[in-house]
Amino acid sequence: MSNPLLKQICELDVFTLLVFKSIFDNGHANSAAKALNVSAPKISRCLNALRLTFNDELFYRRQQGLKPTPLAESLYVAICQFTDSVYYLEQSALQIQNAANHVERPLHIAASNGLLSFLAPQLSTPEAISELGQVRLHKWQENSPELIHAGELDFGITIEQTDTKELSVSRLGCISNVYVVASKQHPLWESQLEISLEQICRYAFLCLELKGFNSRIDPLELFCQRQGLLLPSIERVIDREEWYAHLLTMQSVAFCSSIDMHTAKHMPGLKLAPLPVSEQQRLHDTLMPPQYFLIEKPRSHRRYSQNQCELVVSSLLTALTAQAPQAASPHAAQ
């Protein structure tokens, strides 16, 4: 082997050699992209680098897929031995790291606005602690996908979809019920009739802004536009403490989900009532309710078990699918 060729081979990264092995085994670039959980263009770039290094086509197209050239066939065994060695190296390191992390490092989870105060009580029970150990909850940020990919976060639960190809995205579900929230002294509660969207639209409305859902237009705002109704006012906040203060001092009306309800019902001075199912359907006809997604690294790179992940999301799934109690009148739900 000549020195220039050896230098070029040394400049190839391990992932590029994994691409070679995957294409050889699968016979298709798209299958290799799926197996390695990366985009098709990245597979093409790696294949081009391999062809340039070895000055050979390596794989040529046939109806059955990509077929290896004689040189590719001769390289296969050596490349497999190298990638297997890298795999064993990774497993050896992970065994030591996981043993240490199990004792010392908490599970790091990022969650969308509103989920932290809901998840914290669920994950602090003796049963949860015995299974999970310490859990460090983080607010979901723009760079959270990158932190998950880098291993600084274990996984995330968010209403913001991520388009990164290096992470796994699983849909958990959407909000199944909505609550009306206002000060206990608000005139909305004086009516003996079941709450309707038209009634709510008579008062100043407060929107808790959630990126990826109502940051451009709120479902009630869109409903009013389509029905030709005029809201007295609509204001937006991004902080739950400001949301709470506004409801009390500005006598506004707001919506909260079955997730937010667990926190809002303990806020002094507020009253909650479930929005009737028929009105929820009218509201959701204008804009779909928030959908929650689980964002994870590929299974082979996770340091937590499937049971641990399921324990974290199970309480959220229960809240998403729970049916709100239907009150006979607004006075029935405090």
Q: What torsion do the CA atoms of 110, 116, 118, 120 make, to the nearest 10 degrees? A: 90
In a domain, 332, yes or no: no
Nearest to 68, CA basis, from 108, 112, 22, 18: 22
The model scores a pTM over 0.85: no
Q: Name the band, by pLDDT with cuts 50, 70 and 90, for residue 153.
A: very high
In a domain, 327, yes or no: no
In a domain, 248, yes or no: yes
Same-domain check for residues 43 and 93? yes
259-282 confidence digits (pLDDT tens):
888 888 889 999 999 999 999 999
Q: Does pLDDT of 1 surpass 50?
A: no
179-238 confidence digits (pLDDT tens):
999 999 999 999 888 899 999 999 999 999 887 778 788 999 999 999 999 999 999 998
Q: What percent of the chain has pLDDT over 90?
A: 41
In a domain, 20, yes or no: yes
Sign of CA dihedral 18, 19, 21, 22: positive
Rounded to an integer, what distance in angstroms lies between the CA atom of residue 298 and that of residue 15? Answer: 15
Rounded to an integer, what distance in angstroms lies between the CA atom of residue 293 and that of residue 232? Answer: 34
Q: Does pLDDT of 33 surpass 80?
A: yes
- Between the alpha carbon of residue 162 and those of residues 156, 166, 173, 213, 280, the distances in Å are 11, 10, 16, 14, 27
Same-domain check for residues 192 and 120? no
Same-domain check for residues 95 and 128? no
Residue ending a domain, among 74, 99, 124, is: 99
Same-domain check for residues 199 and 51? no
Residue ending a domain, among 99, 124, 149, is: 99
Same-domain check for residues 27 and 72? yes
In a domain, 334, yes or no: no
In a domain, 330, yes or no: no
In a domain, 326, yes or no: no
Domain that holds residue 271: 178-285
Are 14 and 79 in contact, with CB atoms under 8 Å apart? no
Give the CATH number for residue 231.
3.40.190.10
In a domain, 31, yes or no: yes
Nearest to 194, CA basis, from 326, 306, 67, 56: 326
Are 287 and 214 in contact, with CB atoms under 8 Å apart? yes
For tokens 């802004």, name the residue: 209
In terms of Cβ atoms closer than 10 Å to its own Cβ (0-12, 13-18, 19+), residue 252 is buried
Rounded to an integer, what distance in angstroms lies between the CA atom of residue 73 and that of residue 78? Answer: 10
46-102 confidence digits (pLDDT tens):
999 999 989 999 998 887 789 999 999 999 999 988 888 877 777 777 666 655 554
Q: Per the structure, how many domains does the chain have?
A: 3
